[in-house]
Amino acid sequence: MSKTATSFYYPNRIGRIVLLALEEIIGRSGVNAVLNLASLTGYINNYPPHNQDLHIPSEHISRIQSVLEEAYGPRGGRGIALRTGRACFSYGLREFGPQLGLTDLAFRLLPLPVKLKAGSQTLAGLFNQFTNQRLRLEIDDKNIFWHIERCPLCWQRQTADPACHLAVGLLQEALYWIGSGKFFNVEEKLCIARGDETCTIVVTIQPALSTPICHSERSEESPPAWGMLRRTPSWRSVPGKNAPQHDRPE
């Protein structure tokens, strides 16, 4: 696919992670159906290669998010995107964790507030360095603000409500892992698709007192036959635990 001056890109490696994570949630046939509805048939049974070439347009990522809501209903699509984001972190940790130092013992032993801030800065640096996505962090005593100034998840979309559910799910799982099993409130407050200047996700530094409620996996309407969700024991994904067989780690 030829690049255009108005397009921004994810590397093949991250695009592959997104599709593998989605497959973990809705199965290969579900992914193929979503790709068909999104007019992205070139990815069917042909996921991007495992390299850092910037070949995945933001429009493709955004279109997949939009089609999830069209196919499963707004509520069901949000739930799938959240779970996909959580699975994305598990795949990403396996791919980038050692490279970024997130799996080092020295990092794991840091005090929780220091670890949250350092981990957030590391994740933000990953996206700013390896993708065309642009984000900046704002940190105070109570919150970490993720200001996404160029967002592929809602690229060229117009919505009434914040739409970057995959990013929220990814941060939920990242903070659960960084916080050694603690839960943190993660909420998207602003969204470019809604007309805001940035997509802003707010993370409360103080751990939540209870487990966050997961969005319903289905819409109130009956989902398409191909769209039945693959059930997993927990919404938290362990790297490779529920991975598609063809990409399960050794």
Q: Is the pLDDT of residue 241 over 80?
A: no
Percent of the chain past pLDDT 70, that is, above it, reads 81
pLDDT digits 0-9 by tens, 187-230: 999 999 999 999 999 999 999 876 655 433 433 333 443 444 44
CA dihedral in degrees (211, 191, 204, 93; nearest 10)? 70
Residue 208 has a pLDDT of 86
Q: How far is CA 36 from CA 31, 67, 130, in A?
A: 8, 10, 28
pLDDT digits 0-9 by tens, 164-191: 999 999 999 999 999 989 999 999 999 9
Task: Give me the helix-helix angle, 58-100 and 112-130, nearest 10°.
Answer: 130
pLDDT band at 99, cuts 50/70/90? confident
SS3 state of residue 44: coil
Among the residue ranges 42-51, 77-86, 202-211, 235-244, the one predicted with the least confidence is 235-244
Domain borders along the chain are: 9-212
pTM of the entire predicted model: 0.83
Q: Is the pLDDT of residue 115 over 50?
A: yes
CATH topology for the 9-212 domain: H-NOX domain (3.90.1520)
